[in-house]
A and B are shown apart, each in its own frame.
Chain A
């Protein structure tokens, strides 16, 4: 078991390392990449400044020193990232790490709530559908789930921001909080945060819960046919216990993997979603970075998103064995030989 944790940790670290190297490679090697772009921009802006100064500024901006040998540059860049130095944003003229540190909590906030609602609604609806298998409720819910799931979340987002934001004015069309609340643990602040996050969360949840409900329905129906359920009923266990410990637990287990994948999906999706709702989270800044050719910012956001996904999946992997005892024993069925 200890070996498994070690191997899994090493794998996570390796993934992060590989992504950083990839980011470095993009910055350093791509023709017409960020360094040329920064240099051209500086030359345009300040024709009087001499070449040495421009080179120094490029270094500051991109955190890469062009005269150094490749290996030294790589070591410098990597050690910069280790210290949390992701370069300075050209557009905002602030360190990238500072910008991302401000934005990250908001993205995590929206994502966590979205995931909770998606799986909460999906699992409860799926269980209810399985219980009433074949009924009218089941077929209508299946239809609705498939329909909602086939709408892309950004289409839902645009429709909502148009009707509920611009047309009716029920919800704000941008920002994270109202300007008249003081940040802190006070009710107006929290209420305002939820009020502003409502539409992004809604567009995620409405388009994502359907597939989870269908998965839960399928899993539950499969578990309902298992022998151990019949044995549990004959043993006279209370229906409540059977529903929770026998059906619920065994039906939810396979969805845990889907949960892991959702973490990555939502982080990636935040780029477009936060732009539509003008919600300044990590995705919003990444989009701005792309738009403004602000390569340091873009790379920083890219690395941050990757690290977050890797950590999410890592934690999910390590905890899976706690949920499903079968996953924690390697080898399993030895009688196969």
Chain B
């Protein structure tokens, strides 16, 4: 599967020649140029990774390759497609010819698989109507489809017979890839195909994609905001900034030896598992507006090397060294002056962060279960037997003052539910949650007569949500949104003091001038600014614990570090603890590590490993944590993407979790005893609590037990038989 030197052999004949392609929209404010003079060749059977942040024009480039720019945009320039020696001018085709080229020669996979399928017709029908529309033989076509689905580790009959909503997100995305390949195209354009998925699923799909690409001799254009994700997969990388290509070159060159200042800054801004945390830096400033692109080099306002020349004239995309192009006058200086965090000569040791955690826990969670009932309900609910979802089972956790606990896991593992239980936003089914030793729900119900009133507990536990856009009322000014909590909890506060406090917080978080920001509406703020407002709103309560539920996931890559830095800075100022929920191990490492916090790994409702950041990241003990680490570990370019160290791609149904250790259906180390017995966190003799028999004392029956054989395994709720 792996080829020793893939790039040199493949720089063969071009399959696409794009010259000066531009996409423009006429808007009231002026002409919006969302793809600016893109020129690039795409070669046969290569994987071209196109990387850019949101609003960099990368999706427009993808649409241009199918001449399918959403109206009313206009596409100019020249795009030539080579089919068996024949050259096709993509912009000069008749509608019928264009219809033929699309999907038969060039197919596309979109980001949201869920919204790419018609919800009211079955997956099989999607395949059939595509084959019918292109007058392919239905029987042969469906046979090919079955083969493709099987290649993507899906059960063909089950998937074909399903409706889109009956499949999980990862399965939908793979079914969509199969649908795009059913007419055997030469080129597959993928626009953020994995952005909506968990890291583990992203990785698994990428490794499948590589196999499929080899098998069907495809050329793949892979568009993503995630540079490390695609670096191991792609043969060549093209980086976009402000609707232009700023750097194009072989993947290893661009990744390990980037020449454009933006690429270098972007690499330093992306959290990862290996680089010392102190060497990651956010990019200052923000990306330009498509109507008002700066003159000269569009990156000059953010570039540390910019001078008059950069402001006056735009640098061309020129070849620097062997087949490595960069649009910068000072690429040689950039390579010297902007140091890459991964290749620094300084010893890779972080300053030891000493936490300021207290001895007494603020919140302690004791044997908490949270179960949800599905179905049933209503007047006649008793006729149906409701399914119980075990969102959280038997969780024990203590949060101290000035603490940071990062909960990580795949979607559906119960991390959000546990987080909500910690801040008393979700009533547990069993178990108790205590605030400074006092039973929270007992206080709420009046059963416990404690010293701390319920209102104070409620105020002390706050939350910020994933999507900053929807957690602020769009019809109210920032000031009114921020005034509410103060008015509610400090009714006697002078309006002048209130305003002063709000303005002070805005200023403190870098939103200046604060009087201007206070009078804006949420839509006039950027995503990062909205998230800061949400953070201020939570902090105005002077809370003891803030639940940050995927608080940085919706932000652009270059802004994530900045936001996390701000949160940590505010922790120092306000003595707050954070429960940080993330599906991304690198973010969790950066955030929790900088406060000497802990990482808790969750799988199917259970905490499986809990320990200090560096221990969990550097020496993960639970097999599941190792899998997560595999999915995140990406700064190694030398080895190509290998098969996942896991036996099933899809997560089992939480309604019917596997008996015994819940991870045994996917665990590479599972033995027969794991099917019957369930390990617990506190019996392990390892450095930190780990719910795995491998960390139990040596006399445990695990070591005498037989390894689980895939052939006889009946996997519950998991249709995938991973080979």
Q: Which residues of A contact B (CB under 8 A)?
A: 3-4, 6-7, 10-11, 14, 226-228, 230-238, 241, 245-246, 249-250, 253, 323-326, 329-335, 337
Of A234, A246, A333, the contact of B66 (CB 8 Å cutoff): A234
Of the residues A7, A14, A323, contact of B384 by C-beta under 8 Å? A7
B374 in the interface (beta carbon within 8 A):
yes
How near does chain B come to A329, taking the closest CB pair, in angstroms?
6
**Complex Cα spacing A111 to B129, Å:** 38
Contacts A234-B66, A334-B655, A337-B414 hold; do A227 and B384 have CB atoms under 8 A apart? no
Question: How would you classify the secondary structure of chain A's contact residues: helix, strand, loop or mixed?
Answer: helix
Q: Is there contact, CB below 8 Å, between A330 and B375?
A: yes
A337 x B654 contact (CB < 8 A):
yes
- Are the CB atoms of B166 and A329 closer together than 8 Å? yes
B201 to chain A, nearest CB (A): 11
A238 touches B163 (CB 8 A): no
Asked if residues B375 and A331 are in contact (CB atoms below 8 Å), the reply is yes
Assuming the A-B contacts A241-B133, A331-B374, are A231 and B116 also in contact, with contact meaning beta carbons closer than 8 angstroms in the complex?
yes
Q: Which of B42-50, B332-340, B385-393 interfaces with chain A?
A: B385-393
Residue of A10, A228, A235, A245 contacting most chain B CB atoms (<10 Å): A235
Specify the chain A residue showing the minimal Cβ separation from B96: A236
Q: Which of chain B's residues has its CB closest to A228's CB?
A: B118
Residue of A nearest to B390 (CB): A337
Closest to B387 in A: A331
| C-alpha spacing A238/B96, complex, angstroms | 11
- Please give the distance in Å from A17's CB to the nearest CB on chain B: 13
- Contact status A245-B121, CB under 8 Å: yes
Nearest to A10 among chain B residues (CB) is B380
Across the interface, A235 reaches (CB within 8 A) one of B70, B130, B169, B653, namely B130
Q: Output the least CB separation between A310 and chain B (Å).
A: 14
Partner of A3, one of B133, B385, B412, B414: B385
Q: When the two chains form their complex, are residues B165 and A329 in contact, meaning their CB atoms are under 8 A apart?
A: yes
Cα distance A238–B163 when bound, in Å?
22
A17 to B233 Cα, complex, angstroms:
66
Across the two chains, which residue of chain A brings its CB closest to B410? A335
Given contacts A6-B384, A333-B165, 6 further A-B contacts (CB under 8 A): A14-B380, A234-B66, A238-B133, A241-B129, A250-B119, A250-B120
A323 and B99 alpha carbons, distance in the complex (Å): 30
* CB nearest neighbor in B for A328: B163
CB nearest neighbor in A for B389: A337
Taken together as a complex, chains A and B put the C-alpha atoms of A228 and B163 apart, in Å, by 14
Q: How far is the CA of A239 from the CA of B22 in the complex (A)?
A: 28
Given A227-B110, A227-B115, A232-B118, check contact A337 B380 (CB 8 Å).
no
**A337 proximity list for chain B (CB < 8 A):** 372, 389, 391, 412, 414, 416-417, 654
Would you call B115 and A226 a contact (CB within 8 A)? yes
Alpha-carbon distance between A50 and B224 when the two chains are bound, in angstroms: 95
Asked if A235 and B133 make an inter-chain contact with CB atoms under 8 angstroms apart, the answer reads yes
4 nearest interchain CB pairs? A3-B384, A325-B163, A227-B115, A7-B383
Q: Are B383 and A6 in contact (CB under 8 A)?
A: yes
Determine how close the nearest CB of chain B comes to the CB of A48; give it in whole angstroms: 53
Tell me if B103 counts as interface (CB < 8 A to partner A): yes
Q: How far is the CA of A330 from the CA of B654 in the complex (A)?
A: 15
Residues of B within 8 A of A10 (CB): 380, 383
Could you name 6 residue pairs across A and B whose Cβ atoms are closer than 8 Å? A3-B385, A234-B103, A236-B134, A237-B129, A325-B119, A329-B165
Query: Nearest A residue to B415 by beta-carbon distance?
Result: A337
- Could you tell me which B residues sit within 8 Å of A by CB distance? 66, 68, 70, 99-100, 102-104, 107-108, 110, 112, 115-122, 129-130, 133-134, 163, 165-166, 168-169, 179, 372, 374-375, 378-381, 383-385, 387, 389, 391, 411-412, 414, 416-417, 653-655
**In the complex the two chains form, is A237's CB within 8 Å of B133's CB?**
yes
Q: Give chain A residues whose Cβ lies under 8 Å from the Cβ of B387.
A: 331
Judge whether B411 and A335 touch: CB under 8 Å: yes
A231 to B160, CA, bound (A): 18
Contact present for A236 and B99 (CB under 8 Å):
yes
Residue pair A4, B653 in contact (C-beta under 8 Å): no
Contact A326 B163 (CB under 8 A): yes
Q: How far is the CB of A336 from chain B (nearest CB, A)?
A: 8
Which B residues lie within 8 Å of A330 (CB)? 374-375, 384
Q: Which residues of B contact A329 (CB under 8 A)?
A: 163, 165-166
Please pick, from B121, B380, B384, B654, the residue contacting A334 in the complex, using a CB distance under 8 A: B654
Chain A residues contacting B379 (CB-CB under 8 Å) are 11, 14
> In the complex, how many angstroms separate the beta carbon of B197 from the nearest chain A beta carbon?
11
A250 to B, closest residue via Cβ: B120
Shortest B148–chain A CB gap in Å is: 15
Residue of A nearest to B182 (CB): A235
Q: Residues of A contacting B165 with CB < 8 Å?
A: 325-326, 329, 332-333
The smallest beta-carbon distance between A112 and chain B, in angstroms, is: 26
Contacts A7-B383, A332-B165 given; does A235 touch B103 at CB 8 Å: yes
Given the known A-B contacts A231-B110, A326-B165, are A334 and B134 also in contact in the complex, defined by CB atoms under 8 Å? no
Expressed in whole angstroms, the Cα–Cα distance for A331 and B387 within the complex equals: 9
B384: which A residues are within 8 A, CB to CB?
3-4, 6-7, 330
| Distance between B88 CB and nearest chain A CB, rounded to angstroms | 16
Residues of A within 8 A of B381 (CB): 7
CA distance A294 to B722 in the complex (A): 75
Given the complex, which residues of A lie within 8 Å of B121, measured CB to CB? Answer: 245
Contacts of B117 in A (CB 8 A): 228, 231
CA distance A10 to B133 in the complex (A): 46
Q: A242 to chain B: closest CB distance in Å?
A: 9
A231, B189: Cα distance in complex, Å: 13
Residues of A within 8 A of B412 (CB): 334-335, 337
Query: Once the chains bind, are B118 and A245 in contact (CB under 8 Å)?
Result: yes
Of chain A, the residue at the smallest CB distance from B106 is A234
Q: A250-B118, A250-B120, A335-B411 are in contact. Are A236 and B389 (CB under 8 A)?
A: no
Question: Which residue from chain A places its CB closest to the CB of B70 in the assembled complex?
Answer: A230
CA distance A329 to B179 in the complex (A): 24
Q: Are B383 and A3 in contact (CB under 8 A)?
A: yes
- B625 CB to nearest A CB, Å: 21
A334 touches B389 (CB 8 A): yes
B residues less than 8 Å from A246 (CB atoms): 118
Residues of B within 8 A of A230 (CB): 68, 70, 110
Q: How far is the CA of A250 from the CA of B118 in the complex (A)?
A: 8
Point out the residues of chain B lying under 8 angstroms from A237, CB to CB.
129-130, 133
How far does the alpha carbon of A337 sit from the alpha carbon of B380 in the complex, in Å? 25
CB-based nearest A residue for B119: A326
Nearest CB in chain A to that of B120: its residue: A249
Nearest Cβ in chain B — how far from A300, in angstroms? 27
The residue on A at minimum CB distance from B129 is A237
Nearest to B111 among chain A residues (CB) is A227
Nearest-CB residue, chain B, relative to A1: B384
Determine if A324 and B120 form an interchain contact, defined as CB atoms under 8 angstroms apart: yes
**B168, A335: Cβ atoms closer than 8 Å:** yes
Residues of A near B411 (CB, < 8 A) are 335
CA A99 to CA B270, docked complex, whole Å: 80
Partner of A335, one of B112, B115, B163, B169: B169
Q: How far, in whole Å, are A4 and B375 apart by their CA atoms in the complex? A: 10
A326 to B168, CA, bound (A): 14
- Bound complex: CA of A226 vs CA of B411, how far in Å? 25
> CB-nearest residue of chain B relative to A330?
B375
**Nearest Cβ on chain B to A13's Cβ, whole angstroms:** 10
B112 touches A334 (CB 8 A): no
CA of A289 to CA of B122, assembled, Å = 52
Contacts of B389 in A (CB 8 A): 334, 337
Contacts of B104 in A (CB 8 A): 236
Q: Which residues of B contact A324 (CB under 8 A)?
A: 119-120
